[in-house]
Structure 1
Amino acid sequence: MKMFNHKNSRMKSGGLHLLFISSVFMIISCEEPDKTNQVVEKELANTLETADLGGRTGYISDYFYDFASNINVDFYRFSSSYFTFDYDQYLNLLQDTPPNLNVRSFPEYLVEITPTQHEYAERTLIDSLTITDVVESNSILILSTQFKNVESLVWDTDAEPEAQRYKPNNTDWIFDTTTVTYTDTMDVIAYRAVVDTPMIDEGVLFIDQAEWVDTTYEYVADERLEFSHVFSFQRKQLNGDSLIFRVNTDCNDNGSWDSAETADIGNGIWDPAEPFYDLDGDNVKDASEPFEDRNCNEVWDAAEAYTDANSNGQYDAGEDFEDSGNGIIDGAEEYTDLDGDEQPGANELFIFNPIPNNLLVTWADPQNPQVIDVIETGDSLVTRWGIIYYDIIEEIVFEDHKTVTAADKDSLVTLFTNRVIGHIVGGEGQDDYFIVKTEWEDDNTEGKDYDYLLFKQFEHIYKLVKPSFFKPYGYYWSEGQMASGFWFKNEFEDEVVYYTSNGLLREGERVETMYYDSTNVAIYRVERSFQVDVEDVTVPAVKVRGFINNDGAVECYANAAWSADTIDDCPGADTTFIDAFKITNILTQTMIGTDVEYGEKSISWLVKDYGIVKDELHIRWTERPDAKEEIWLGISRWELGRFSASSSGGGQFAKLLKRTHIVKINELQNIPELEDPFQIKRTAGLQRVELPR
């Protein structure tokens, strides 16, 4: 099975007047696609005809995007690797904001779409343009992983006491590249035909037999060419022990796990004063000075009183002392089960905190523990109970194995067809779609990636799609589809994204559909469910992100220690929207015969006058037979950062006044505001569906 990509160009013969049609070719067709609804085994829910569901309602035009406005929205994008992180965790752990994704609408342009069919395309070989065994030289760039070396960690004494923590001193981004050159041998073949894919299902198609359009198909082998390289770096990174993120839970400060107390008692051990960071050097613990809270009471404790029997100025074993509790009746001590034995060990009496504010102290000299305010590469630490942690910042040899692939071209086939100059379609004619473009930085390259989403609104919100299905093992249709894990039908269809009842979103709405789709590859059972709930939602979309403090400096709400020259430089901070519509779309595709299931769950939170403020995408595959429930994997989440909307001259009224431009789907790259060509990708709602690799 071969795959192909194609690109379009135009060739015109000379000596003909543009308005003259040398001949007319007419095609009339009324064929229906091979999609059939079947009787289902269960009753499908559908509340659209129910007059009143008793919950909250809102017009979809208020809660989804107004297509007549210029929408410009920035989202924070959480990939599958960081799906379980909330925004604050990401910000504090990585000291950076999540990657940005932009959503824009273009109301001044409408895309005009008509169906396609693939007949009347008999081909004739053009010998004069056919060449065999053409050798083509190519090159491919291999990029290493980018990272920063942690040179040191420094306790931030400039922040307010409650905001103090270790701040990393990082290098600039470190990376490397290499270029591999290779050759590829292929055949270059040319054909001619009357038409390739007439853009109608019914009506009359007019063509100019004196003008030609050429389309080039690139056929490639099933197996791609692979090129590998190993990059070697000296990498400095935080040790896996992650000491600065630990919260002590040894609240009895005895080096062992203790069950819950019934009274506030001592630990049977003389406890010295808790070490503190003596910022002013006066050997006196001040309120603003950080300390090692060894007994979990969140206050600094001096040394326990004792009888200095030998008058040597320090406590010696056997001397009497006042064994004090911590002022709290402690519960059972929490622990982190590092070795998975379900038993607390001496080195497991801690829990993790996403903020690196655990002040490190080394007890190498038990009589004189030292606060570590600056951590350098190779520094070690000894706990009060003699546990040694080496290389808090470790230096390792990082072997970065990278493999890239390239298409193994078999042939380039150019098809010359007559130019289509017009057609007449009965009924209501073509559909016009509003354009939405999503754009983000590609995780795997230094460039951008994007999707065009084409919407129209009648009673429901529709999105134009080419239906796609997961592939059985070994089946490929094109290079891009192999990479994405799906194959696509050739015709466009309207897909309902949001159901409404007379234009209203209604709490409690539920719509279920099921049908069988017979394709050339397999028969698929397609089940969909749509559900509307109402709940509050919190996203980092506060309009004012910081303020000017008493010192005249910018202070950010999300992180008081964040370095920002202006308030606009601050990261997003959380704000809560009350009573958002939470819309859950679930798709299940089942391949008949194999019973392999693929599922998608798209959850969108819609807020009045803001549109989508949060969007999650989950997928699942057929679970093991012993699985008790469906297992969903979160692969992408968007959270609103900034929102902007302004009125424009778009919309149906503007179209009547000729202020809206009608464009073809294959001409988007010619529009300066859009720049990029339309590409076929699988999407769920607004999100690209990319299977984790």
Structure 2
Amino acid sequence: MKKQIFHLLLATVITVIYSACGFLKESESEEEQAAGFTNTLNENLGGTQGSISEYFYNFENDVNATFFRYNPNLMANYDTYMDYYSLFGEDPTTMGFRTFPNHLVAMTENDEAEFTERHYIDSLSVADSVVYDSVQITSTPFKNLEALEWNLEAEPSLQRYKLVNSDWVLADTMLFYTDTFDISAYWAVVDTPFIDDGLLFVDSSEWHDTNYVFFADEPLRFLNTFEFIKQQLSSDSLVFRSNTDCNDNGQWDEAEVTITDYNGNGIYEVLFEYSDNNNNGEYDAGDDLIQDYNNDGVISVAYEFEDMANGVWDSPEPYYDIDSSGTYDLNEPYQDRNCNDKWDDSEDYADNDNSGSYTDGDDFTDSGNGLYDDTEEFTLKDSDGDGEFEQHLYTIGEKPDNLIVDWSDPANPEVLLEIGLGDDVTSRWGTVYTDMIEEVDFLDLKQQFVDEMDSLVTLFTREEVGHIRDASLAPDDYYITKSEWAKTAGGQTERFYNYHIFHEPDHLNQIIFPSYFLPVGFYFSPNDIEDGFWHKKSLESEVLYYTYNGLLRDGEFVDTSYFDTTNIAVYFIEKSYQVESASVTVPAGHRSSLDSPASDTTFTDCFKVTQTTTMTMVGSGVDFGQRTESWLAKNKGLVKSEVYVRWTEHPYSSEWTQNNSYLDTLNEAWVGLNRIELTSVDIQAENGVFKKLTQPVSTVELRDIGDHPDFDFDPFHVSTQIGIHTLDLRELSE
């Protein structure tokens, strides 16, 4: 057996026609477009006709009917009742339907004083109520510095230390206290402001409470100190230092002495007097002469300043040998000791003692850094705690890009790519820095204020469901009916129900919540459907069955179209209504036992009503269609009804149309969504005059339906429906 589950939603688009126009909200507008449509309501058709109260229901009568109810899956796979019964040996889900002729809906603007009156609830009111409460205080979150790691993966000019931090460290505490205040409770049916016209429906399924809280002038103050051991970069901040000792002599120097700005560019620099075409570092044949700037007769380089050296032999600047080649490569990090932004090898020397390395007494070339150095910047800091500030030859930058070198062994300085908790380092000049990442006591004082309550006033009201804005209709113009059914799955039975409200202004109208689809449409899965449609918040009246002086007529056609402008989108609505004489067969015959299937019964005195609605979103052009086919039999009411839906079909290729296996001759893919078939009905006629004399009609407010035994204590709720059809979204995932 092949099962097909179609995830669809019946989006009932409500537009009030004729006398129902007054139900539209002021924020929305509708424009009738009648050109080119058929309307036979004012014509003499001359065919079969019958009173709507005989073919649908006379709401003055007690009606108890039972239907077989087919969800989308059953409707798609079983054409008839016997198809289903032959396979499963049991009936489909049954749905009961009944009228309530002795109960009417009433709640008008004249009821304001009664329904908004506030009543004191002594049992819920307490003087000097003591409430135990608490306040949670949370510390300032921070992260511990666990390590410093040099980022070798970055471009050489962008390399720096990465701060390796822990997860967020925080703590909280709960402080308990008591608050004393008065509690006053009131109840009212509805809150103010009340309606100015029409009827107001409220839901009696639950109370809605509104709290009014009054506070003291001064709030309560709570304090707490959190204690932590925090890991952080030491105050020396070595990784953020920028060296300013540009001649690397360990002492502060003024600006270097200038000689002459030979080329007149305003910059003191080292000038090459030739172009070294063969890159051998000296002027010879093949090189191009530029100019003998200092006129010394030697073509070499000309210094425009005195390049100050440090008076000591300089070893190679320490670097990290990434490839272990033993030689410096341009991508390798180094410690720039003389501020010239390039790696410098050791100074040339004469090995006077033939030791194989530089030793004191060897002659060497004492070179500067090849750049003009202005007066050296410094940072004042009392590093030895004697109360005097010393000049330290560095500035503090914003980036941790100072490569740390440990000079504990001056002959073999070590580049530190990783620095951990408690690591020490010795500078080139012998200064020892301990605990570059240190642990310190961290005290975090936090405070929090809480409003101190003086009194609490609670108002309980019923939840508002909807407001019908039609002052022309009296409360006794509305009739309540009810459908209910149950489903069993996994050994659990779940009960469902719905109320259907009708009234008869000029035609037979139904009170419902209009619904529309959101952009972009094409919703089939349950999640998409629930998020893809929206309902108006107010109840509105829609024509369910058009009548001519209360009569259904064979051959009746009513076509309408209009633009419906809402707060979400503009929709173009097209509706087609058709009535024809027909016969229909349903499983409503005599049934001697529930152990045998229901027998078929054919009703020949019957009207078939077909209603088709197409909703097109202006702009996107997406349209949603709904078609309802209903069979109404004389003195039996509704005996069969089917609902179909569709979305915009692909204009060029049926393969791109969703559910294309259902395409008809008009290239429309109508998918069955719900079907009900009558299986039994019991109608007890009432004499209206006798009833009013012996059993006056009682009035029940819609909000109180859930408190009334005749309605099985079931509250009114929002739903999607047409006629007595109810479409439950939960069925779409079955």
* TM-score where L is the length of structure 1: 0.47
Which has the higher Rg, Structure 1 or Structure 2? 2
Q: Which has the higher contact order (CA 8 A, sep 6+)?
A: 2
